[in-house]
């Protein structure tokens, strides 16, 4: 392998103090980390991993590398003390949701959610997503311009998840802002303002869901299609979720399905403006769109970071670490690892195989990934078919987050 990265980019790298230009293009730093500091110490008791093989090992060993965030989030969000009447809303949410828990709670909640996202159920969503996308495209055509995020990419998952939870259409207005505020609190640096916004969003969302759940208990939907009804009913002849688990995992479903899918669609449309040859190939060979969606997920991973904590002492790359070590998994770096992906910095819409880690791996692999892939495929293929000559029209505004990679605004002209 050619050694071309700058070791200085890896020296002293800290997610809490990012170098200039990192948000716009983190990949030179990621390359330097993989090559020169693949096991990078972030501070006392913290390490960042950037190689594909190391992330895959961690994902597949849930016994050694736990997803439980009780200790970490207790320090970050406040877990309650003699001076506090109760844990903060952010702490209560993030330590109860599916993604930050281990078996048996994780297994029980995941099984209930997955039961409403079977291949048959996901396939049944296609017609509704097509109709939604075409309606959004009709509106854009009438204007001649579009914000690819606000008017398209963000509008699709909010509607899809709103349908899954049975949220009345006229009550979906606050969902995106709640989601952005709650997920924003997961960034490595948490300002008082972001923390306050996140706590307010959790409180407001819980109050809304409490009313929605009460109505659904009185008027249950079809548990094969309505995730909220399925969560309320629990497993057939088995356990049900507590009230806290039920409400917090409804928030998780929205957050997990909204931000990452918005970024998948927005990043894909942006990449096709930067890679005209790839756009031309998809127009000539639309059957490649499934592979193209996977390449967008790899090349610009919607979720750039993951986290685990070691339950026992462990060693990696010849270095020993104690139990309790907090591990940051750099998905964005692993998905461009040349040891796994030939020519990894080339955007190849026909790449095959493409075993990226955008949806993680192991027992925490994204439970809604089939829905995200369906939304991405329909959105990108229909948009490209309707507006093959679209172009950016103004300055893109990229989200300033490290964990989630995407745009806030992406103005475009359709012809």
- Residue 356: inside a domain, yes or no? yes
- Residue 278: inside a domain, yes or no? yes
Q: Which residues of the chain have pLDDT under 50?
A: 1-2, 80-83
d(CA 318, CA 189): 30
| pLDDT of amino acid 85 | 56
3-state secondary structure of 35: helix
- Residue 136: inside a domain, yes or no? yes
Q: Tell me which DSSP letter residue 169 carries.
A: G
Q: Are strands 314-316 and 65-66 parallel, antiparallel or unpaired?
A: unpaired
**Total domain count, the chain:** 1
| pLDDT of amino acid 83 | 42
d(CA 22, CA 125): 38
Residue with the two structure tokens 């190939």: 281
Nearest to 244 by CA among 91, 76, 68, 80: 91
Question: Domain with 92 in it: what CATH number?
Answer: 1.10.630.10
Query: Which residue blocks in 329-400 are alpha helix, DSSP H?
Result: 331-334, 369-386
Residue with the two structure tokens 């049900």: 240
- Residue 401: inside a domain, yes or no? yes
- What does the block give as tokens for 407? 């745009």
d(CA 62, CA 64): 6
- CA 394 vs CA 146, 147, 152: distances in Å: 11, 10, 17
3-state secondary structure of 125: helix
Phi, psi for 220 (deg, rounded to 5): -65, 150
Query: Which residue blocks in 102-174 are alpha helix, DSSP H?
Result: 105-114, 119-143, 155-165
Provide the domain limits for residue 233.
Answer: 7-413
Tens digit of pLDDT for each residue in 287-344?
999 999 999 999 999 999 999 999 999 999 999 999 999 999 999 999 999 999 999 9
d(CA 127, CA 180): 28
- Residue 289: inside a domain, yes or no? yes
Q: Are 218 and 228 in contact (CB under 8 A)?
A: no
- Residue 2: inside a domain, yes or no? no
| pLDDT of amino acid 392 | 98
Q: Tell me which DSSP letter residue 313 carries.
A: -
Count the neighbouring beta carbons within 10 Å of the beta carbon of residue 204. 15
- For 384, the enclosing helix (H) or strand (E) is helix 369-386
Q: Tell me which DSSP letter residue 206 carries.
A: H
| pLDDT of amino acid 222 | 87
pTM of structure? 0.95
| pLDDT of amino acid 236 | 58
Q: Are 130 and 382 in contact (CB under 8 A)?
A: yes
Count the neighbouring beta carbons within 10 Å of the beta carbon of residue 61. 15
- Residue 1: inside a domain, yes or no? no
Tens digit of pLDDT for each residue in 194-247?
999 999 999 999 999 999 999 999 999 988 788 899 889 886 567 788 999 999
């Amino acid at each position: 392998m050619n050694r071309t990265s700058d070791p200085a980019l890896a020296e002293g790298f800290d997610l809490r103090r990012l170098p200039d230009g990192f948000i716009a293009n983190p990949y030179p730093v990621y390359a330097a980390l993989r090559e020169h500091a693949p096991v990078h110490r972030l501070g006392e008791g913290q390490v960042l991993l950037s190689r594909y093989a190391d992330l895959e090992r961690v994902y597949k060993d849930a016994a050694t590398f736990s997803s439980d965030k009780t200790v970490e989030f207790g320090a970050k969000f406040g877990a309650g003390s003699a001076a506090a009447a109760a844990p903060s809303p952010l702490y209560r949410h993030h330590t109860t949701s599916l993604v930050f828990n281990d078996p048996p709670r994780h297994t029980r909640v995941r099984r209930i959610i997955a039961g409403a996202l079977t291949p048959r159920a996901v396939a049944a969503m296609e017609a509704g997503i097509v109709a939604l996308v075409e309606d959004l495209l009709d509106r854009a055509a009438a204007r001649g311009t579009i914000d690819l995020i606000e008017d398209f990419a963000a509008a699709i998952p909010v509607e899809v998840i709103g349908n899954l939870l049975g949220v009345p259409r006229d009550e979906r207005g606050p969902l995106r802002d709640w989601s952005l505020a709650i997920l924003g609190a997961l960034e490595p640096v948490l300002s008082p303002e972001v923390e306050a916004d996140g706590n307010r969003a959790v409180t407001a969302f819980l109050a809304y869901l409490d009313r929605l759940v009460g109505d659904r208990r009185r008027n249950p939907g079809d548990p094969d299609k309505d995730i909220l009804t399925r969560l309320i009913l629990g497993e057939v002849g088995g356990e049900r979720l507590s009230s806290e688990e039920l409400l917090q995992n409804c928030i998780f479903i929205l957050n997990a399905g909204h931000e990452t899918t918005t970024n998948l669609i927005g990043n894909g449309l942006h990449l096709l403006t930067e890679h005209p040859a790839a756009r031309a190939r998809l127009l000539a060979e639309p059957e490649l769109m499934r592979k193209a969606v996977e390449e967008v997920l790899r090349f610009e991973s919607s979720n750039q970071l993951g986290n685990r904590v070691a339950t026992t002492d462990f060693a990696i790359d010849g270095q020993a670490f104690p139990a309790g070590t907090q591990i940051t998994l750099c998905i964005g770096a692993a998905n461009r690892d040349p040891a796994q992906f030939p020519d990894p910095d080339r955007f190849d819409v026909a790449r095959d195989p493409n075993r990226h880690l955008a949806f993680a791996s192991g027992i925490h692999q994204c439970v809604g990934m089939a829905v995200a892939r369906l939304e991405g495929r329909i959105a990108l293929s229909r948009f490209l078919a309707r507006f093959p000559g679209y172009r950016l029209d103004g300055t893109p505004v990229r989200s300033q987050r490290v964990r989630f990679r995407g745009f806030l605004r992406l103005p475009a002209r359709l012809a």
